[in-house]
Structure 1
Amino acid sequence: MPPAPPARARRRQVPPVPAPAPRPASSSPPPVVPARRRGRSLLGWLVQGLVFGVLGLFLLVLYFAWDLPRVDGVPAATRRPSVTLLAADGAMLATQGDLYGETVRLKDLPRTLPAALMAVEDRRFRSHWGIDPYGLARAALANWRAGEVVQGGSTLTQQLAKNLFLTAERTTRRKVQEALLALWLERRFSKDQLLEIYLNRVYLGAGAYGVDAAARLFFGVPARRVNLWQAAMLAGLPKAPSRLNPRASPDLAVARAAEVLEAMVETGAITQAQMEAELGRMRLPTPPSRQAGWFADWALEDLAETFPGNADLVLRATLHARLQASVEARLEALLAGPGARAGVTQGAVVVLDAHTGAVRAMAGGREFRASQFNRATSARRQPGSAFKPFVFLAALEKGMRPEEDVPDGPLTLGSWSPSNGTWRPRGEVSMEEALAQSVNTAAVRVLFRAGGPRAAAEAARRLGIDGRFPNDASIALGTGEVSLLELTAAYAAFANGGLRVTPFGITGAQATGAALPVPRPAPRRAMTPEDAAAIRRMLEAVVARGTGRAAAVPGRTVAGKTGTTQDFRDAWFIGFTGSSVIGIWLGNDDGRPMEDVRGGTLPARLFREIVEAGL
């Protein structure tokens, strides 16, 4: 039989436990955390924050530093070759490229030069470590108060880092890189070494890099010989070298130097009495001729072909600074006075040596800063009767003589009838008198006896005039086009006995102390001495009793020719005395007529004034 199921166990009856009554929250104290456990938790957070902060800072520095330039040494200066153009007396006329002077040592410089620099640029230079938090805070506060950037917080080391390794762009990335490089420079070099590098490499305006180049350029002395006010002026230039340098703005340069002297008093580098004494001594040297820029541009225009290579050049020019200044002053006085009353706004003057072609002075206009266009070399205008000597030269070469008579009566060629102005016909006049009185009808007849327009144009080209000449009789009255420089140079052959000269502006050259050859065409025979003497005699008659009487200088033999174009648009006088040839043109750039200005009036008068001034 199957076993019987077990008897069901009797359950024990357990009465339910009632839930405890809830207590008010305020009566229940929070769980107590041990102080040791709480400290460990806070320390953990601090450690994690420090780790992540260092990691973030490392990544940030890595981001800014990944494209830093190589800093295994101070890079060599990269620069354009410099060209220094000196006048005949050694005065500086112009510079091109970048100028570097001698490398200076701090011990060789006057103590006032680095003191001035630190006083105005970085007073805490000797104490900071490349970055000056105090200076940054001071600059930020000043800029916030002014509402604009009025101060910079960069140290000298930061400026040096930017100049050596970085560009001048204004970005956060560049500023951070500048700070990193400043820290490296401070670890790599001593303070004196940093100052030396800065003083030898800083840009100080007008193409000058370093204090020695700037001292020589602005004051004519090496950096080791600068006085106190000169040191202050140099120290003030890094703020805005292109605007504050003495070449660009003497007044601003002086004002900035005064600010530097005041800063030196504040730092104790000098006394108040020393500052006041230097303010009284501050005198900039006379600046170079303000208009010699036309000469410099012309003299240097073929520089690359004449002196190939990348060496620094020092060129000696033919220009005489004193004569140049005299030419400028008298041209300006004439244009401002009688020229203004006669409607003349422009002029040009060339003075050259008749025997060599050396240009002694050149004014290509009234004001170089207002217009760099050179009216002496680039403007091509009709010369009027100043062209007639070439017509008469062609006639002499055909056998005519100055004493030979030529009809001076009215003349008609087709529809053209040249006018003689106020000249009253005499029937016949000698060639010499026809040139002296600038008789147009006689000049046309001389042209035909000389072989026609082509013969006159050939004579002019042989003497160096590369103009466009009409192939008709009007060429006798100067209806071609010439430049003042080539017309003046052509007249040199009349003065020197018949030799054609080529105008030039450079007489000597040196590269790194070694003399270089200066190529120059030698004068060559362009007419016989007899024909040159005959033309000279006729040109002397122009001044003695003809249209050029206003050019006569008592006690001097003067020869020359006047020229006036239609409606008084151009007025010329080309003349010579001794070994100098002077070419003068007056007119207006737009061809506007002047008021009865002829070659024998204001141009001839200006010629005389230049000669009397000491030519």
Structure 2
Amino acid sequence: MAKNSGRGRKSGGPSSRPTKPLWRRIVRSVFIWGAALGLLGAIFLATAVLFTMRELPSYSALKSSQNGQMIVVRARDGTELVSLGPSYGRWLSYDQIPQVMRDAMVTVEDRRFREHIGVDPIGMLRAVKVRFERGHFREGASTITQQLARNIFLNNSYSWTRKAREAVLALALERKFSKDQILELYLNKVYFGGGAYGIDAASRKFFGHPATGLTTPEAAIIAGLVKAPSNYSPTADMQAAIGRGNVVLGLMAKNGVISQDEADAIDLSQVKVAKEEGQNSVRYFTDWALPQLDLLLPETNEPIEVWTTLDPAMQKAATAAIDNNVPKGTQGALVSLDRDGGVLAMVGGTDYVSSNYNRATNAVRQPGSAWKLFVYMAALEAGYTPSDRVVDEPVTIDGWSPQNSGRSYAGEIDVRTAFAYSKNTIAAQLGNEVGFGTVASMARRFGITTAINTQPAMVLGTSEVRVIDMTRAFAEVSAGGTSVEPYGITKVTTTNGEVLYQHKSVQGQVLVPHYVAAGITDMLQTTVATGTGRAAQIGRPVAGKTGTTSSNKDGWFLGFSSGITTGVWMGRDDAKAVRGLSGGHAPARAFADYMKVAVAKRPVEEFDTKLQLPEWQLEPDDEQLQGDPDDYYYTDENGNLVHPGTGTQYDEQPRYDDGAVGPGPGPGIPQVPDYGQQNGAMPPPAANDDFLNRATGRGTAQDPGLRPGQGTGVVPRPSPSPVRTSGAY
């Protein structure tokens, strides 16, 4: 019989080996799988680089390729205004590029250029470290090779896919070309702003000579442009260019390219910048309009034609109007809008070459009395009419006492006259009555986008505004109180005529009732006819308003005629006082000079100033219905009969309930006065002849503030409006 062979077997065989800890197995698995995935990734990357390298164009092909998009900007009549696009200088070989230029570019853009393989892991880690330490990226991790790949083959839209493709292309470029070739390509193709591609084009544009003659200060300025060409352009902002250039010089000294003493001895303010030729005020308009293409079009690099609203003849007249009227040492700006909001002309300064800062769209300045447009519209909406009587007298609101120009007071006048002669005290009273917040809300309603204060002095225009926003507000008044949106591009096409974008007109929203727009137009017309804006007369109906700030720092005139609205501003960039500057002089004359040309081919249009008042404004006051107070009685709120002339109260008045006469005389119930014919007494007349004459307009003297076509449609009130004095505020 067989015995159990396992009885004497010793333990400790292979099946009884101790199991390894779980964490060691996890680490081992992660290591193995990580290595495998890393190996697969390396193989995939190497394959991608290899195939990309094979597909790369030859070096000569890359040299001949061009970047940038050609844009032809056309006026409203189809004529070419300006052609914008890439500008290329002469191609410079590596040896022809000054050493200082090569060193400056490598120092500021990629100081490890000679060590990395196309991408710089150390630079990436450094950028990530800064990101965690400071909360944002202060330096990029893209190498010169990556930037070259992006400029030639890709676009600037940020995505992880684009970054991955950029890295693969950079690695392929480094495998196919030498470092010197890559740097040569980069320096001849990188964009330096102003349409200049490559260092030779940049040198000629900014300094007026070929890049072969670049000095160290000039090289520092050009090298600093790559980060943000529009911000650091020496022709746009020399101080910004100098600041960036000094950063580059500091980096060059730190990296041993130049000595610290040499860097300290360089004064970048002494660098001479070349004057640009062939620039004019049209560029203010194109600088404002063309950035809108980013919102209007899908991304495209093909040549396009941009058709605009600009009228060449009007633009020429606008430029001449500013140049011929602006006081010496000051700047001027003008914006002119068609009735649908199309920009007909735009001038952002007196000289685009010396300063391309657009004062028409970017500068914010105090509008002075031009702001009263919103004050008086708020008052009209609250129930005032141009013919209402007010009192021009000293007034104090919360410790603030406004003064009129000349420190004189006219006494009792109508609202129309107060506006036409820009009475500050009346504006203050009206603003206080309707509420300063209401005035601010009215300005917001009419397109003012800048901050608005609600202190009492705000009624005199202490809040800063843009010229284009104020012009838009007046255009909306011209449009009968409906919204107007300024625009400059009508359509965009390819060179083959394919329409990529077409502007569509939109019905404007109603901003104020028609009677408010009619009333303010009435007053604006009076301002030009007899008030502070007489210099803006052009031989046809004009409505407008002057504006002058304290110490004559700003002068404004804004107005409209025949469907064209124009705003003019003049002043100094440093906001210093300008002797003799006021809205009724130079700005109003510039407005007139321009508008005579702008409206020459348009029919004369009379303004709609007929006040179709709402029912609640047409209802006369109770007291006004009673005629002469000595001729009749009326009842108070308790039903008691009162004699207005004496204030006597008649207790013999019966009480009424639901229109029924109460019981006859009795205890505590007085007898009704008998106006019947039995005792010969007759009730007083409902209205006397004087009242009827005033109510119907018979025998009423012509208002001296009215002119033909202005306010003639105002519905007459039953009696003269009560005088509004400062006591009511």
Distance 1:471 1:578 in 2: 34
SS of 1:500 mapped into structure 2: coil
What residue in structure 2 maps to residue 510 of structure 1?
493
User: Structure 1 counterpart of 2:510, which letter?
Assistant: R
Q: Which residue among 299, 308, 326 is the counterpart of 1:309?
A: 299
2:427 paired with 1:436: no
2:67 paired with 1:83: no
CA offset digits 1:575-604 (Å, max 9, x no partner): 111111110111101111011211111111
Q: Which residue among 295, 302, 313 is the counterpart of 1:322?
A: 313
1:240 to partner: Cα distance: 7.4
What residue in structure 1 maps to residue 11 of structure 2?
none
What residue in structure 1 maps to residue 37 of structure 2?
none
Distance 2:279 2:482 in 1: 31
What residue in structure 1 maps to residue 344 of structure 2?
360
After superposition, the Cα gap between the structure-2 partners of 1:99 and 1:524, relative to the gap in structure 1 and judged at 3 Å, is farther
Distance 1:596 1:460 in 2: 29
Q: Which structure has the larger Rg?
A: 1
1:99 to partner: Cα distance: 8.9
1:96 to partner: Cα distance: 4.1
Distance 1:550 1:473 in 2: 30
2:345 paired with 1:345: no
CA contact (8 A) 1:82 1:99 kept: no
CA offset digits 1:122-175 (Å, max 9, x no partner): xxxxxxxxxxxxxxxxxxxxxxxxxxxxxxxxxxxxxxxxx9xx9xxxx99769
After superposition, the Cα gap between the structure-2 partners of 1:304 and 1:601, relative to the gap in structure 1 and judged at 3 Å, is same
Equivalent residue pairs, number: 389
What residue in structure 2 maps to residue 484 of structure 1?
467
2:538 paired with 1:538: no
SS of 1:315 mapped into structure 2: strand
TM-score (normalised: structure 1): 0.57
Q: Which residue among 592, 597, 608 is the counterpart of 2:576?
A: 592
CA offset digits 1:233-272 (Å, max 9, x no partner): xxxxx99777889xx99xx9xxxxxxxxxxxxxxxxxxxx
User: Structure 2 counterpart of 1:524, which letter?
Assistant: Q
User: Structure 2 counterpart of 1:89, which letter?
Assistant: D
Distance 1:77 1:388 in 2: 58
What residue in structure 1 maps to residue 122 of structure 2?
none
SS of 2:567 mapped into structure 1: strand
Distance 2:389 2:443 in 1: 23
What residue in structure 2 maps to residue 470 of structure 1?
453
What residue in structure 2 maps to residue 142 of structure 1?
none
Structure 2, unpaired ranges of 5+: 1-52, 92-151, 153-172, 186-192, 211-276, 600-729
2:441 paired with 1:458: yes
Q: Which residue among 382, 386, 404 is the counterpart of 1:398?
A: 382
Q: Which residue among 575, 579, 586 is the counterpart of 1:602?
A: 586
1:334 to partner: Cα distance: 2.1
1:427 to partner: Cα distance: 2.1
What residue in structure 2 maps to residue 92 of structure 1?
80
CA RMSD of aligned residues (A): 3.9
SS of 1:412 mapped into structure 2: coil
CA contact (8 A) 2:87 2:201 kept: no
1:420 to partner: Cα distance: 0.5
1:91 to partner: Cα distance: 2.9
Distance 1:243 1:74 in 2: 24
SS of 2:428 mapped into structure 1: helix
TM-score (normalised: structure 2): 0.48
2:373 paired with 1:389: yes
After superposition, the Cα gap between the structure-2 partners of 1:242 and 1:326, relative to the gap in structure 1 and judged at 3 Å, is farther
1:288 to partner: Cα distance: 7.0
Distance 1:172 1:517 in 2: 44
1:608 to partner: Cα distance: 1.1
Distance 2:401 2:199 in 1: 68
Q: Percent identity?
A: 36
What residue in structure 2 maps to residue 525 of structure 1?
510
CA offset digits 1:458-488 (Å, max 9, x no partner): 1111111112211122111111111000000
CA offset digits 1:317-344 (Å, max 9, x no partner): 1111121112112211223xxx12xxx4
After superposition, the Cα gap between the structure-2 partners of 1:240 and 1:466, relative to the gap in structure 1 and judged at 3 Å, is closer
Distance 1:446 1:68 in 2: 75
What residue in structure 2 maps to residue 296 of structure 1?
286
User: Structure 2 counterpart of 1:318, which letter?
Assistant: T
Q: Which residue among 346, 367, 370 is the counterpart of 2:354?
A: 370
Distance 2:494 2:301 in 1: 6
CA contact (8 A) 1:444 1:476 kept: yes
User: Structure 2 counterpart of 1:290, which letter?
Assistant: N
Higher relative CO (CA 8 A, sep ≥ 6), structure 1 or 2?
1
User: Structure 2 counterpart of 1:309, which letter?
Assistant: E
CA contact (8 A) 2:279 2:353 kept: no
Structure 1, unpaired ranges of 5+: 1-65, 101-120, 122-162, 179-204, 210-237, 253-286
SS of 1:499 mapped into structure 2: coil
